[in-house]
Structure 1
Amino acid sequence: MSRTFSSWLSGPESAGPHPDDAAPGESLGLPASGPGSLAPMWRRVLALLVDWLVAYGLAGLGAKAGVVTPELLATVVLGVWVVLGAAAVRLFGFTPGQFACGLRVIPVDGSGDGVGVVRAVVRGLLIALVVPALFTDVDGRGLQDRATATAVVRSR
């Protein structure tokens, strides 16, 4: 079976054949709408923004206390974001931003109820690289979700 990918530049039509009546996530066994359906891109981006602001706030507390120097602030923010995201996805199935936006991360390979430590860390690191998240499949899942066999779905 061939895997098709597209980029945000070429649009979803370039990802290869996909029936017009098929809902995103149908091939994964997910519902077309409502709880458990694939999350739209705008909600995922909004959740990412909220998570980034939380990481900035926590790193800012460290800078205010004198633990983090201004030169290292951006690196500390990235580190806090990756650790917070991986830990939250592993423990709860969602990051703070995903919780606020009504999203959660689920495994799609039938391996259990939650996302494991390795998957959560790999997924966070791939998102931190930015580029994998720009390439999506016909369902709108980024390379980080394809590589870790996960999906971001609506929780409510």
Structure 2
Amino acid sequence: MSDRQPRWTQTWLMGPRAGADLGYPGQRLGLPETGSGSVASWGRRLAAVVIDWFLCTWAIAGGLLHAKGSDLNLVGLGVFAAEYVLLLGTLGMTLGMRVCGIRVATLDGERPPFISVLVRTFLLCLAVPALIWDRDRRGLHDRASATVVVNL
């Protein structure tokens, strides 16, 4: 093998497009690089989910509904799903998203339709789709519902 040709292990370890300029997250979607309407960072998204999960599990399910033990997680997940469907469907953001300055939008910038909210919420509650992302910071739950999380 010639020294000029990379070995297959080198290309595999460097990634499929090592050295290629892929642009900024959201560029393929026609979103701005920074400011309002740009793709939200992972830190803001994670913080919003943690805030929502804490509110739904501990404050509402544990405090108001008096769930305990394993019921707390199940009731908390139900309250979490209800919060997402209700608030995303009406406002385009949850309480945690509002605190973190982000919202969910369709690819044309509008509030997502109810069916997209249902699909996104169901997949988010499964957790695994939210852990698989593309270069535009969209999880499988975002792609399946044709949405993107953007900055306010």
**TM-score clears 0.5:** yes
Q: How big is the alpha-carbon RMSD for the aligned residues of Structure 1 and Structure 2?
A: 2.2
* Structure 1 segments unaligned to the other structure (5+ residues): 1-12
Aligned residues: 138
Equivalence map 1:49-128=2 (5 Å): 49-56=50-57, 57-60=59-62, 61-63=64-66, 68=67, 70-108=69-107, 110=108, 113-128=110-125
Q: 1:133 maps to which residue?
A: 130
Q: 2:3 maps to which residue?
A: none
Q: CA deviation at 1:42?
A: 1.0
User: Any runs of at least 4 consecutive aligned residues in structure 1 with deviations exceeding 3 A, and if so which?
Assistant: 13-19, 68-71
Q: CA deviation at 1:73?
A: 1.6
Q: 1:42 maps to which residue?
A: 43
- Is contact 1:15-1:138 (8 Å) kept? no
* Structure 2 segments unaligned to the other structure (5+ residues): 1-13
User: Residue type matched to 1:141 in 2?
Assistant: R
Structure 1 residues 94-131: Cα deviation after superposition (integer angstroms, max 9, x where no partner): 000000000000001x4x83211111111011111111
Tell me the TM-score normalised to structure 1 length. 0.81
User: Residue type matched to 2:145 in 1?
Assistant: T
Equivalence map 1:4-23=2 (5 Å): 14=15, 19-20=20-21, 22-23=23-24
Q: CA deviation at 1:16?
A: 5.3
| Greater relative contact order, per chain length (Cα 8 Å cut-off, separation 6+) | 1
Tell me the TM-score normalised to structure 2 length. 0.83
- Is contact 1:47-1:98 (8 Å) kept? yes
Distance 1:18 1:128, change over 3 A: farther
Query: Identity rate of aligned residues, in percent?
Result: 38
Structure 1 residues 3-43: Cα deviation after superposition (integer angstroms, max 9, x where no partner): xxxxxxxxxx7475895261110111100001100001111
- Is contact 1:15-1:137 (8 Å) kept? no
CA distance in 1, matches of 2:29, 2:19: 14
Q: CA deviation at 1:137?
A: 0.9
Secondary structure at 1:136 match in 2: coil
Larger radius of gyration: 2
User: Residue type matched to 1:34 in 2?
Assistant: G
